[in-house]
Structure 1
């Protein structure tokens, strides 16, 4: 009995302190391994910056054009992505061109892993190209020079694919999005569909209490600080400042969560962390003139959607000139580019959907519920779903009639009808929307618009004062040596430099990490100290989030109070009673061209043959559904009703389908009544067209309700006995 008591007594301390010893051993080992990860991150940073053309592409690439050789040289490059083994490219499919953002980071994030924009496009059989850039800009390089270079790149891609079924699909990530749109507005003939991923276009837009980043320019007094930073860099703007600006939006992640996640899961998270940090730490520079244009014209001035940006030859950049379908991908979880900033330009440009159609524009948007800004173009889950569907169904997007649509995605299951017509794991559907659907997401009141207009005027005044009184002194003091010293000691760069092997303690950390890996003893997940550690971490995140929310609230209140002052608004020339003066003016030339086009369409209502009649009937019935399904488009591709149709290119088919759609909008009854006149006399040929309509409609779901009623009417038109000769038969008879 006494011996048993002694055994229990002797083991009690171990039972009490066992979890503590296990945790302390684990924590000490994790600390060493974490420091070693920081060392690897820093060494990786130096190695990356030492590369001639640093990038994070996961694919081999071949140089096609070097922007440095152009008449106006720029630091941009066009490369062709070499498909990996097992991936087959169809040379007849339209090429994809991915343009990465130059927002402080280096290029490659659009293709830094298999599940990426480039990866899914190649998987769908498309040739892929990538537009990247070098760390330092060319002397005198401007935003307009870059646009000219990208135009030359697209011309080259088009020339390399003369048999492609369409112009290149161009993907603009983040800051590259507005650059792509500016180019597409001035050179619309170069573009196929445009995909904008997390790209800001309406820079003042947002929802009060949710999107505080838009207040930054006003709270800093405007863009004079941008000019100062460029001058302190000796004429260059360090991308590290842009990275720091991103990080300031989420202090909990920057100061704690990102590092804690590695520390707490150091055995599994190191490789993923280092992969991302290779891009996150690849800081690049911009010319001072470039960043000044971006801040003045876009983020503070908000002049893009308003049509107030002009090229050097005086051409106004009007986004209504874009003729390619525009796909906008944004997220409610994005605090950098919220949906209002990604979509607000549509409200700035158009009164209603009919006006969108009058310009022949097709706009498709999709809003993710949770993914953050970077996740829009780096998340593997997003690549497998949204980007994969966009790539697989780019022809669906390209063939949509003019208007506004929302892309929705439904997971394919065993119950999905006609699942053989679905590519991938999701069924993509484009549903018709109105401008009210965008307004419902929230936005600025006229009073808030006046506040931002006031901030823009204050920015102009402060920038003029800085240039007149301060800039000469700053330029005189900042030598190339001073500019280099300031760059090296930037806080973001120092966070990498501090842990390189140049630090005398780091070699010892590397050796200790090797020993730890050999003797690694992780604590159990249910260890009470591990549980306590997680709770402490959660409380730290909660505290930092609370601090951020209080600062954001204070910033918003300050901005609204200062720039809402009627006295300040009047002093800087903003009418305190004015409405919302953001929309570009109406074009009389566009009105004249539209009237001419309407007359032309009306005159063509009775012209055509079986192909036109079938498509017209299909569109009429499909309009009752209010959406276009990828299964229907897949079935539509199989329609070859006539010999002429089999030779028809995608562009020709698209133009024909759009004409039939517009005819139905303009003169619905006349367009329907004319269908029998378009059809051949042979009943078998008519039945072939009617069967095609039924096949396409049934591919997208059950035919019922208004759709069934419209189909009955079209069926009667196809079965009419007094159709007369179709146009082609009359021509032959005569």
Structure 2
């Protein structure tokens, strides 16, 4: 309450201000003034923090201690990247024998460290799971002459270094790429697939032409600026360097309500409690870095405008084609419908760009898993603590299972364990399930439109024309005028950078702010949320936000309509060489070499239908019963792997994964022939051993609960196939009586083999047993016939 009014008797106050509006107004006025001073002081701290951060030689926002293992500036082709080992925090232990975990940071205008920004981050999750962790970060300025291909080669070198540090670990590193780093590591994996384990790309755009109308405004930017010549202009004005603040500005323009009002008002309205969180985030958001002119031009021409990565059209300087079909590691794609920077179509469209159907994907031996979040934004995909505790924790915990998934396309769903009827069988708080999908089903997320693809192809042609005109007539003049000093001043005067400097201690007008803020904190009198004027403030803020949102929607719709009208003109398309109804680009899978490769692979798989022994028979049976994969989640996989480890202690996980994939391929190519070959795989084994194989299968199937009706029917067929391989039991004979040698079973003394119980009974019994004990010893013994090379 105002000090002048606090001394008056309550009766006088009631007579002077019967409804309390005057008192509420005075209290709100003081609170608003105090909040304004405190808000300005936070802005001052933000400016000081920005200047201190950018003046460091190696600015970083990593929340973990790290040591540099390999400096990219010392490589034969120097780059401004470095490999760091993450040191576990106190109380956390890592196992050097576990799979290494590598996070590659995105270099898209902001500084490094976002992948390990919080304890609940991708690195934090992996550390708590016991994985040795590494981080690939970068420095603010590129090395002279540095190219994207140099960076890709450096990342391959870093991964080889990680592998060399873990010689006793059979598994290749799991690699995580956020945003821009996602497509970068996909390029590296396409060129050197042997150094990659499972790959997780979070919020990474690989198919820039893809998008749902009304939901992806950023993809129209290249068309509305006439192509990539603007990038060349900004790089030339920067004396060969491109300011990352331009990229950050593009991100901010996507959501003007948040940029211009909501983010700042959220701080102002809660300035007593939000200052620390706001400053932590701004330390990364405002840490702008610089890219080389060659790098950004390569990115814009080949990815943003040309969309060449997802269609295998990119070729390195030494003649190697960058074809994402070369990947041999499972790829996990994590995206969100709430992400307006990398919407699901851009994160998933590359799959449709490369593969015409699911059979082609499977024949190529590729496993792709995707997860689509409903609400989180772009940064939330790899920064949000709730996402890390849920999605990233499950991805990390199930990575070995993902690594053994048969080739195909899968969608994940995460459910809370306590909400499931089989909660007692689930080890963690959540269960990650996998559902097979087809390329056609994927279109529900991608929304492919051939007419839009033709428009973006026209943009690519227009961009090449404008780029040629700029280089011929304007570039020599711009490069002659630009100097390193002018480029440095242009970066300093960028609006995104200037705002930080003007509100720092280097501005003399900010001198009284810290003094006033300290006085306010000594006698802070905040009003409650029940203050009528504070409530009206919230209403006004909501109206401003809604107004800016309405303006954004109008702007985006107008921009989209203009783009579609301009680049959809038949005359323009004809002028740039896209006339007629012919497809704008050839599908990569239509190449004769690729079709020949697929056909040869199928023939080789068919030739191995009857090769193998009991392990092949058991694995083939499990995959068949469960409908194409070892399970819809990782529980069956863990039990099967543990059981095999008991039977063959020296068996490597890589051999187990090869067995799963091979048997899946065999079933996929000729299911009936593969099933009919099962009795031959176990032929010659005793009845006890065959019963042990069936018990082993039952025990594995019980891990995820009761079988469905369809799965139970399939298991009945497997039982019959194994039963047909059982050797006949010789009939018993009494002394002095000749043994029976003919007649029907049961009529001439031949003892019929005992009929095993039905599938539903055996699986239920195994399920009850599984709750009491771990994986049991099976009578299965592996025969080792010669295996033909793949």
Q: Report TM bin, short chain.
A: over 0.9
CA-based RMSD of the aligned residues comes to: 2.1
What residue in structure 1 maps to residue 329 of structure 2? Answer: 324
SS in 1 for 2:415: strand
Q: Give, in angstroms, the shift of residue 159 of structure 1.
A: 1.0
Give 2:474's match in structure 1, choosing from 459, 465, 470.
470
Q: Give TM-score, length-normalised by structure 1.
A: 0.95
Q: Does the aligned pair in 1 maintain the 2:612–2:784 contact within 8 Å?
A: no
Aligned counterpart in structure 1 of residue 186 of structure 2, from 174, 181, 197: 181
Cα contact 1:421–1:634 (8 A) shared by 2: no
Aligned to 2:739: none
Aligned partner of 1:95 in structure 2 is 100
**Displacement of 1:633 after TM fit?**
2.1
1:536 is matched with 540
Distance 2:530 2:628 in 1: 57
Whole-Å separation in 2 of the counterparts to 1:671 and 1:475: 67
Q: SS state of the match for residue 196, structure 1?
A: strand
Counterparts of 2:245 and 2:666, CA distance in 1: 54
The alpha carbon displacement at 1:721 in A equals 4.5
Contact 1:607 1:727 in 2 (8 A): no
Q: Cα deviations across residues 624-643 of structure 1 (Å, max 9, x unaligned)?
A: 78962122222223212764
Match of 1:506 in 2: 510
Deviation of 1:238 (Å): 0.4
Q: 1:32–1:512: 8 Å Cα contact kept in structure 2?
A: yes
CA contact (8 A) 2:612 2:785 kept: no
Aligned position for 1:74: 79
Cα offset, 1:592, TM superposition: 3.5
Residues 367-446 of structure 1: matches in 2 within 5 Å?
A: 367-413=372-418, 415-417=420-422, 419=424, 421-423=426-428, 425-446=429-450
- Indicate yes or no: 2:24 matched with 1:19: yes
Q: What's 1:560 paired with?
A: 564
Shift of 1:663: 0.8
Contact 2:214 2:560 in 1 (8 A): yes
1:513 shift after superposition: 1.2
Question: Once structures 1 and 2 are overlaid, which stretch shifts more, 162-171 or 144-153?
Answer: 162-171
Which consecutive aligned stretches of 4+ in structure 1 deviate over 4 angstroms post-superposition?
Answer: 4-11, 624-627, 721-727
| Of 610, 616, 623, the match for 2:620 | 616
Change in 2 beyond 3 A, CA 1:5/1:438: closer
Question: Distance between the aligned counterparts of 2:561 and 2:388, measured in 1?
Answer: 38
1:631 aligns with 2:661: no
Cα displacement (A) at 1:396: 1.1
Whether contact under 8 Å (2:113, 2:137) holds in the other structure is: yes
Deviation (angstroms), 1:87: 1.5
CA gap 1:105/1:422 in 2 versus in 1, 3 angstroms:
same
Equivalence for 1:146: 151
Aligned to 2:245: 240
Q: Please give the alpha-carbon distance, in whole angstroms, between the structure 2 residues aligned to 1:20 and 1:613.
A: 81
CA deviation string 1:560-579 (max 9, x = no partner): 11111111111111124333
1:54 partner SS: coil
The answer to whether the aligner puts 1:640 opposite 2:640 as a matched pair is no
| Map of 1:493 onto structure 2 | 497
Q: Which has the higher contact order (CA 8 A, sep 6+)?
A: 1
| Residue 671 in structure 1 maps to residue 704 in structure 2 | no
Match status 1:598 vs 2:602? yes
Q: Which residue of 2 aligns with 1:517?
A: 521
Greater alpha carbon shift after TM alignment, 203-212 vs 7-16 = 7-16
Please list the CA deviations of residues 488-518 of structure 1 after superposition, one character each: whole Å capped at 9, or x if unmatched. Answer: 1000001111111111232311111112112
Distance 1:5 1:580, change over 3 A: closer
Tell which structure's C-alpha radius of gyration is larger. Answer: 2
Q: Measure how far apart 1:442 and its partner are.
A: 4.7
In structure 1, the partner of 2:664 is 661
Task: Confirm or deny that 1:213 pairs with 2:218.
Answer: yes
2: distance between equivalents of 1:167 and 1:288?
34
Give 1:729 deviation, angstroms.
8.7
Q: 1:268 & 1:393 partners in 2: Cα distance? A: 38
Partner SS for 2:351: helix
Query: What's the CA shift string for 1:598-619, capped at 9, x where partnerless?
Result: 3332332222222222111111
Matched, 1:31 2:31: no
Q: Alpha carbons of 1:19 and 1:357: their partners in 2 closer, same or farther (altered >3 Å)?
A: same
Question: Could you tell me which residue of structure 2 aligns to residue 457 of structure 1?
Answer: 461
How many Å separate the matches in 2 of 1:539 and 1:244? 24
Counterpart in the other structure of 1:272 = 277
1:443 deviation in Å?
A: 2.5
Deviation at 1:549, TM superposition (A): 1.0
The alpha-carbon distance between structure 1 residues 688 and 726, as it changes in their structure 2 partners (threshold 3 A), is closer
For residues 254 and 729 of structure 1, do their structure 2 counterparts lie closer, same or farther at Cα, with a shift above 3 Å needed? closer
1:421·1:635 contact (CA, 8 Å) conserved in 2?
Answer: no
Shift of 1:132: 0.5
- 1:27-65 per-residue CA deviation (whole Å, 9 max, x = no partner) reads 111111111111111111111112221111100111111
Query: Does the 8 A contact of 2:628 with 2:664 survive in 1?
Result: no
Deviation at 1:288, TM superposition (A): 0.3
Q: 1:447 aligns with which of 443, 451, 461?
A: 451
| Contact 2:99-2:131 within 8 A present in 1 as well | yes
**Does the C-alpha gap of structure 1 residues 360 and 505 become closer, same or farther in structure 2, counting only changes over 3 Å?**
same
Q: What is the total number of aligned residue pairs between the two structures?
A: 727
- Unmatched 5+ residue regions in structure 2? 1-8, 729-779
Give the equivalent residue in structure 2 for 1:707: 711
Residue 343 (structure 1) aligned to one of 324, 348, 351: 348
**Corresponding residue SS for 2:318:** coil
Is contact 1:611–1:642 with CA below 8 Å preserved after alignment? no
Q: 1:5 to 1:223 in 2, by over 3 A?
A: closer
- Return the alpha-carbon distance in structure 1 between the equivalents of residues 493 and 697 of structure 2: 67
CA contact (8 A) 1:678 1:726 kept: no
